[in-house]
Structure 1
């Protein structure tokens, strides 16, 4: 890398320069738009599941557990589809991965529910929820990726190992 390359990398975008401001908006506005729309849709889906599976104080939060593990399964599927199977449009990953699944899954509610379980049920159930969610999420993302790769190989006529 030359000194000129380093200088270009170090120069921040000057929003007072119209051309730089327009380029920033032209490049990032579509991405931010699809993330916002996807996030709204994902949050609505999570809210709906929360209504179907409400969490009562001191009880295992099945709704949030299901949301987070299902979201992890789907991110495993999505990432294989857009990296190994399809040539995806540049907005597919931000829309589904960051937007829809980011709005659908919820770490903040997970953390709050651990705190609530500690207050209402003690350490035991809180530890079970904390561990089950973590393990469930990890297993779900690996399973989603593995199953999608296996299905893709089968459909493409490969033997796959």
Structure 2
């Protein structure tokens, strides 16, 4: 059995993947802008919706593949692929894929109350935090 990736190699994998994921998010936005024009692209968040759905699909495929084929440890092991693709690429592309995976894990464990609490708290707290940040910055302007 090989050792798990070190902090340095793990950080590098996440950083490289995150850069690729952020670039893919940019490409998704540019593709929608090119396909439907700036007015339609800003009237509804098609790029964000696309990233959330595609990222969630990719997360499901990745987790399913790693569960079946992943190997522990090492630079080419399952943990390295999880860091590069799951945390890095998909984290840079959309964090919604992680949110969807965590929700699914609650459901699969039969923890329906925890799943509802997680979704509700994430949405309400996220929206409240965004509005608090907006209000704070507006008060400083």
The TM-score range, normalised by the shorter chain, is 0.5 to 0.7
CA RMSD of aligned residues (A): 2.8
Displaced runs of 4 or more, over 4 A:
55-58
* Corresponding residue number in structure 2 for 1:82: 66
Structure 1 residues without counterparts, runs of 5 or longer: 1-25, 108-133, 143-161
Question: The residue matched to 2:6 in structure 1 has which SS?
Answer: helix
Alignment of 1:1-161 (within 5 A): 27-54=6-33, 56=39, 59-87=43-71, 89=77, 90-105=79-94
**CA spacing shift, 1:49–1:68, aligned 2, 3 Å:** same
Based on CA coordinates, which of the two structures has the bigger radius of gyration? 1
Judging by fraction of residues, say which structure has more helix: 2
**CA spacing shift, 1:84–1:106, aligned 2, 3 Å:** closer
Structure 2 residues without counterparts, runs of 5 or longer: 106-141
Relative to the length of structure 1, the TM-score reads: 0.47
Equivalenced residue count is 87
